[in-house]
Chains A and B, each alone.
Chain A
């Protein structure tokens, strides 16, 4: 049987190219996602501050609600601090040579021009931690007094200062003058470092009993011992490339995002790959109906036919899968570059490539092909041998009842789910909308031939004018199944792209709209590295100012139980002062914002809590919170589901600064005067909307992901169209022999292509329009989704071009041979 399958594959290379390409690209895509996912766990950048530390202990950023499964966790947005006391315990572990606690806090040097030097993240540390890199003094000496600092050499040059000079450093208040006691040379230049004396550093860090990290110098491998000892202390013990995640916030975020995105993107890719491979194989198998009928006639049992199709698929998918796995290395680098270009991944982030994702993708590819072959082989294997005797290539019988039922049920579920954004607000509502569209698309795919058949009957009378139109109309009516096979993937691509793009833009617009409405302050103070907390206090004392508040943009992690599983989400949150006055409009529905003191919280109506209830969640640094609800509000798009007191919000961020200060009344001149003491701060009238849970990042990521998947769908669409057109060589030859001109055949196929593309555009738009309209009504109050129209037109034009060109090229190629020769060719 295997030889038989192998022979067939060898002899019918062209017939299998479609499946080969589909599996090749699918495997490459899935494996690339796997590589990105693995890099999320094991990739990184060269460490800068911790190169000399064998082990680095930091706070664990993973939030795991009790009762959740292994996937129920979130990555905290901020690095949590750890108790300084851990250092003593680590020092007691045998094999530990030295333990160095490190304090980290924002420290920006003011340059000679009076402007803050913020071209890269800039942090202050205690001088002892310099040995972890190590930073070595090239000039001068270590900071001894409280007013002395050591700068890294790059920073010293940019700040235009040298040993013995004065430098102004802004930590969490107005800049203070320090004397440069030395300049140190370290490695790497991702961050600028300012070293203070130990005493000054703990004062500036603000939390004397807590440190940011503990570097451990060891003899031999004691990582496991340290890990064991600290098992219950909620810390992360890092070595090797992992240390860069402990060191750089962007690397840590990247790794979390990569693991997450690659996971969901990979999931999509697997689904699409199965779908594409299945439809391609189904087409390949369908075109060989006669061959299978002949096999049946000479005595092959249905099971033997199935086995044969399965083996053929195995041969093809093995070859394609191996190549695809190798190709994925290039694809993953391409994706990494794309992610780096949009700023999701640091430019120096190195992928970690091992055989595991390649093998996994190969197996997934093989399994997908196996499933696809099984479904494609079901019908032809039960083919009647009599068909081998017939002359005409007849269309398959009607769709299976099971398939139709599932399709209609999915359509109903999808349609019902599109109404969710009317009740569900926030990112979840937008996500539901996309899910609903996906379900609709899958349902439509299943009942596709039915709907395409119906639509065809409606529109074909329009084409019956010319001979070409008449022939095309007859073709699509008689072979609505074949037409559906071409329409479906195009429709899928259009619907998928449109829903993904416009649900994001509509959501962004809704957030922006509500933010503008809700921030009613007359003046907004912002700065590139945040605004020191004391500014809000100072603003309140200015003459004419009636109210002022800190605005701290942060995030919280929430857990909700749905059935047996625990759903963990990271969402936007804001910190505000109780004395915010009329600077913000939360749309309070109960309670008072004036009661919002440290230890209390205001929540959105969507959470269903009442004043006096307890809200449980996790702060941005992963610390658990149990806060009393003092108010509820409805403007959740602008403020997220949680509004904390500014003090609480600041306490759980590394920076410890405000994102903005909102001021009511007062004069611009007075405010300008106030902020002139703080380099970098500016006063404006407006505020930009808060990123909703890395929303912009998500959007761009989606764009890349959708783009890649669409590219894959495009390959397979043209694949399908070329295959189904090329299979009609004999039909074309027959048409030419009975006197149809070459141009008439080309025109006929052009009309068919237009019908195909037109139907795909109409169905794709419909399937996208329903969820998008309801999303827009729910979120912005107008039925029209927001976003640039050119993207929609571009998607349609792209799909049209793809369809028309694929059909036209393969038609012309098929017409190249002499009709007399072609008609004799066996199918």
Chain B
């Protein structure tokens, strides 16, 4: 088994063609080790969203390889890639994460249902209690607060026992208190459950919840910070330019 749950090898992404072409990522190579919580930071336009899209298999790099474990995502056809994403990657968005017509429980088990599998009741109970949603399983998303919705999204990301959980600004739409709860939750699933989490954010406080922070600038990797604190992250960001 490889030590890296997820690795990007010389990933380049170009949008558009000809004179209007914009290179969002320049030959980025990085490995995310199993059981770590990594944050990706960078100023606006640094390519962090593109980084996440490519890493998650939602978008295909122009060149380079994305490996999930030993699987080369670029080599997969759309349907197969969707299956891999569904079964082996969990994803948490910034907001509007849930299907309004489904209950909390239905939202959480949606990936399993799409895969045609039954939920492992024990595992389901465990993640539900971990994200603190006991007693709310029959509610609809509209009846929940933003923080609770985000925790539902995390539970959904975990339900298929993925190899890696990717989060895109998971606290971006939240106030500081619920944001803190979400970050603590993400950290705990790494520390206590051995999950691998990769999170994109522009908030130094959020980034400091991670084991290490990768900095991106102009589509290139611009360093790494281990055991970050909000102050150290902010200082690094200031040097990278405005964020």
Residues of chain A having any CB pair with chain B under 8 Å:
1, 4, 7-8, 10-12, 290-291, 294-304, 384-386, 388-389, 826-827
Contacts and interface: CB of A to CB of B under 8 A. Distances in A.
B101 A7 contact: yes
B35 interface: no
Contact of A298 (B78, B91, B100, B168): B91
Interface in B86-120: 86-87, 91, 93-94, 96-97, 99-102, 106, 110-111, 113-115
A384 B115 contact: no
Contacts of A294: 93, 96-97, 99
Contacts of A388: 93, 96
B103 to A, nearest CB: 8
B148 to A, nearest CB: 14
8 contacts: A11-B101, A290-B96, A291-B99, A298-B111, A301-B78, A301-B82, A826-B142, A827-B96
A826 B59 CA distance: 25
B58 A384 contact: yes
Nearest to A12: B101
A503 B163 CA distance: 69
A-B pairs with lowest CB-CB distance, top 3: A299-B86, A11-B101, A385-B58
A297 B99 CA distance: 12
Contacts of A385: 58, 85
A389 B53 contact: yes
Given A297-B93, A301-B79, 4 more contacts: A4-B113, A294-B93, A295-B99, A296-B82
Contacts of A297: 58, 85, 91, 93
Given A7-B101, A11-B101, A389-B49, A301 B83 contact: yes
Nearest to B153: A298
B187 interface: no
Contacts of A1: 113
Contact of B83 (A290, A299, A826): A299
Given A298-B156, A299-B82, A11 B100 contact: yes
Contacts of B91: 297-298
Interface size class of B (residues with CB under 8 A): 20 to 34
Q: Which has the most chain A C-beta neighbours within 10 Å: B102, B114, B115, B156? A: B114
Interface of B: 49, 53, 58-59, 78-79, 82-83, 85-87, 91, 93-94, 96-97, 99-102, 106, 110-111, 113-115, 140-142, 156, 160, 168
Contacts, number: 77
Contacts of B115: 299
Contacts of A295: 99, 110, 114
Nearest to B93: A389
A10 B59 CA distance: 33
B102 A4 contact: yes
A386 B113 CA distance: 21
Contact of A389 (B78, B94, B156): B94
B114 to A, nearest CB: 5
Contacts of A8: 99, 101
Q: Which has the most chain A C-beta neighbours within 10 Å: B53, B58, B142? A: B58
A670 to B, nearest CB: 88
Contacts of B156: 298
Contact of A302 (B53, B78, B142): B78
B102 A7 contact: yes
Contacts of A12: 101
B112 to A, nearest CB: 9
Contacts of B106: 4, 7
Nearest to A296: B82
B101 A10 contact: yes
A385 B85 CA distance: 11
B53 A386 contact: yes
Contacts of B82: 296, 299-302
Nearest to B100: A826
A721 to B, nearest CB: 25
Contacts of A302: 78-79, 82
A37 B176 CA distance: 69
A299 B59 CA distance: 14
Contacts of B113: 1, 4
A303 B79 contact: yes
A444 to B, nearest CB: 33
A187 B85 CA distance: 80
Nearest to A11: B101
B160 to A, nearest CB: 8
A385 B111 CA distance: 14
A826 B79 CA distance: 28
B79 A298 contact: no
B202 to A, nearest CB: 15
A8 B160 CA distance: 23
Contacts of B102: 4, 7, 11
A452 B205 CA distance: 50
